[in-house]
Structure 1
Amino acid sequence: MTKTFPTQEVGSLKKPEWLLELVRNKQISDSDKSKARNDAAYLNIKTLEDIGLDVLYDGEVRRVEMYEYPVRYINGFEFAGLVRSWDNKYYKKARCVDKVAYKTNFHSDEFEFVKESSDRMLKVPVTGPYTIADWSYNEYYDSKEEFVYDLARNVVRPLMMDLIKQGAQVIQIDEPAATTHPSEMKIFAEAINECANGVDAKIAVHACYSGNDYQALAPYAAEMKADQFVLEFANRDTWKLGITDEVRNGYSALKSLKEHGFNGEIGLGVVDVHVDEMEPPELVRDRLLYAEKILEEPTKIYVNPDCGLRTRTRNVAFEKLRRVVQGAEMARNALK
């Protein structure tokens, strides 16, 4: 995309309460539940279009959870029970008890519906191999490396290939666990390359911030077959206006990525997904102008929230995305 500061979302949105109540109702037929999910997906898509995003998806409205949902469709796993995640929600954790194997394109119906519902650029999020392995009990493989690489080769890559056959042009590999173990960054990097091997699509990699300011990621970024890194910056930045290093201290990792030779795209987190407070568009603008000052290529800077917005109410999430779009437009005007 040649547009300066194109805007995008990262992934999940909070599901509407009416949908949650309906799908939990045992009196409702599966066909009616499927129709309700379509309605919720369409509502998300059209809202994101109206907000003005250039790249979008459906808010992952059909997915139970980013780990549990794909694991349901991978041979070799058995669910062990519920565990609590960081945001005080629960998901089913699985045991790997046999060699992992791909069953079917479990995002097929979802992607087909989104493709038919929007003419915008679509970005399909898929859960990455490192995160699936890291969040599972390994009771089969001799090493974590072997577990991760098998997931990359035998599950995630075939899934990506099938999505591309359906028409997917941009795929985002979600890896929230990647930076939590800096000593295993080489495993993560090689797994991404295994996923991307022979894949004819734009590949974005979303990695969360885990306390090391992406310093562990930076040395590997240029070696990874990722066209874009979607990264989290806003939640540790100041709310002061300006484009100096002092006020934009949350974005220091940009220099490290550049110094280590990464010259691809950056999905720049410009709004904090952990708070309800609304970033002024002027703050979004200045965060973008600071990034442009460092990276010097505004067409390679995509504008997004730090992460998915599922922990925020729908009203808050959509308003934050409006601030993303407004701030990006202000930054474009500032560069004219």
Structure 2
Amino acid sequence: MKAYFVNKVLATTVVGSYPVVKGSGISSFFDPFKAAVETAVADQVNAGIDIISDGQVRNDMIPLFTARLPGIKGQDVVGKVQPASGAITAGDAKYARSKSPYVKGVLTGPSSIAHGLHIGTPMYRNKEELVPDLAAALAVEAKHLEAAGVTLLQIDEPIFSTGVADLAVGKQAIEAIAGAVKIPTCMHVCGGLGNVIDDILKINVHVLDFEFSKNPANLALFGSRDLAGRMIGYGCVDSTSEAVETVAEIKKRIEKGVEIFGAKAMLVDPDCGLRMRSRESAFWKLKNMAEAAREVRLAL
């Protein structure tokens, strides 16, 4: 097993986000999302997840970061983008770390952020020119997450599967962030990979995280492709549906992955974040996934 992860074959993790369950009382007055972070962390631990996240409950994936970056106001880029004055998500990651020995820190990727913004300054002629400055700002946050003790740093780039982003620029940005830290890095790309798989595999990270439940065709892409010693984040639970798959259903999906990648190369997780699901659905998806992984692990 890779030395930088849990010493367990088919370790389970999450893509990142979890339903927002707000609390009440005086503590919620001072921090409206404190209870949501605590609930997300507790549910992941209780579901049996090996590498948890902080739940990403404070905002959607783009404004979670852009609200703190100088040069951005709302959805508009108004000047040169610079790093935040302090840590953005590391405080919640540190809390998660206090409840679990293994925590995944999560950043929204610079290309996905760039394509979610409107350029309203002559500082940047296009989205591609914006991406490197976003990467530099996010690299600072990556260092804060590393200092908070996260086991793995994930960079989310959902835009990569759409064909809209310049993948050469995106590759440089991802590798700039990954190069800023010593901890292992992961890149999550959701959606179908058929048109971009070869470019995606050129990006230098330790783990490549994809969805295989909602997009089973992604599996066929890896028959003859070499991962070059990297791991696969193996999405085996549908994040788009409230329906909770049975342990047996998830187990079959994991077994298919084992046939192609081998158990030692896999981290088991949902297809994508669970923020849009109900708390009950999200919890049972994770719990059943953890049990399915355990059963496959025992049978190896």
TM-score under structure 2 length normalisation: 0.89
User: Residues 222-262 of structure 1: CA distance to partner in whole angstroms, max 9, x if unpaired?
Assistant: 4322111121121134xxxxxxxxxxx4522333xx51544
After TM superposition, list the pairs within 5 Å mapping 1:241-280 onto structure 2.
249=217, 251-255=219-223, 259=225, 261-280=227-246
Shift of 1:274: 1.2
Corresponding residue to 1:164 among 146, 149, 154:
146
Output the CA distance in 2 between the equivalents of 1:165 and 1:183: 31
Separation in structure 2 between the aligned mates of residue 126 and residue 320 of structure 1, nearest angstrom? 23
For residue 240 of structure 1, what is the aligned residue in structure 2? none
1:54 corresponding residue in structure 2: 50
Q: Distance in 1 between matches of 2:45 and 2:144?
A: 26
Q: Does 1:311 align with 2:276?
A: yes
Instruction: Report if aligned partners of 2:17, 2:53 keep a CA contact under 8 Å in 1.
Output: no
| Alpha-carbon shift at residue 35 of structure 1 (Å) | 5.2
Contact 1:282–1:330 (8 Å) recurs in 2: no
The aligned residue for residue 243 of structure 1 is: none
- Equivalence for 1:206: 188
Summarize the Cα distance change of 1:37–1:263 in structure 2 as closer, same or farther, 3 Å threshold: same
Identify the match of residue 177 of structure 1 among 159, 162, 174.
159
Q: How many residues align?
A: 292
Q: Would the alpha carbon gap of residues 34 and 201 (structure 1) be closer, same or farther in structure 2, given more than 3 Å must change?
A: farther
Q: In the alignment, which of 73, 77, 87 is matched to residue 72 of structure 2? A: 77
**Cα RMSD, aligned residues only:** 2.1
Cα distance, 1:133 vs. partner?
A: 0.3
Residue of structure 2 equivalent to 1:85: none
Aligned residue runs from structure 1 range 1-336, under 5 A: 1=5, 2-16=7-21, 18-19=22-23, 22=24, 32-34=28-30, 37-61=33-57, 63-79=58-74, 94-103=75-84, 104-116=86-98, 118-140=99-121, 141-153=124-136, 155-181=137-163, 184-209=166-191, 213-237=192-216, 249=217, 251-255=219-223, 259=225, 261-296=227-262, 298-335=263-300
Q: Answer whether contact 1:6 1:299 (CA < 8 A) is retained.
A: no
Partner SS state of residue 188, structure 1: helix
Taking a change above 3 Å as real, the CA distance of residues 146 and 306 of structure 1, as seen in their structure-2 partners, is same
Unpaired segments of 5 or more residues in structure 1? 23-27, 80-93, 238-248
1:331 Cα deviation after fit:
1.3
Q: Secondary structure at the match of 1:302?
A: strand
Q: CA contact under 8 A between 2:207 and 2:231: conserved in structure 1?
A: yes
> Helix, strand or coil: the match of 1:102?
coil
Amino acid at match of 1:44: A
Alignment check: 8 A CA contact 1:124 1:171 kept = yes
**In structure 2, how many angstroms separate the alpha carbons of the residues matched to 1:144 and 1:38?**
34
Whether the aligned pair in 2 keeps the contact of 1:281 and 1:330 (CA below 8 Å) is no
2: CA distance, partners of 1:287 / 1:119: 27
1:3-41 per-position Cα deviation (integer Å, ceiling 9, x unaligned): 11110111111112x53xx5xxxxx87x54345533332
Greater Rg, structure 1 or structure 2?
A: 1
What CA distance in whole angstroms lies between the structure 2 residues aligned with 1:183 and 1:171? 22
Letter in 2 for 1:326: E
After superposition, the C-alpha distances for 1:113-168 in whole angstroms (9 at most, x for unaligned) are 2222x133100111111111010012330232221111112x11111112212323
Q: After alignment, is 220-229 or 97-106 more displaced? A: 220-229
How many Å separate the matches in 1 of 2:72 and 2:32? 29
CA contact (8 A) 1:182 1:216 kept: no
1:245: which partner in 2? none
Sequence identity percentage: 25
- Cα 1:34–1:331, aligned 2, differ >3 Å: closer, same or farther? farther
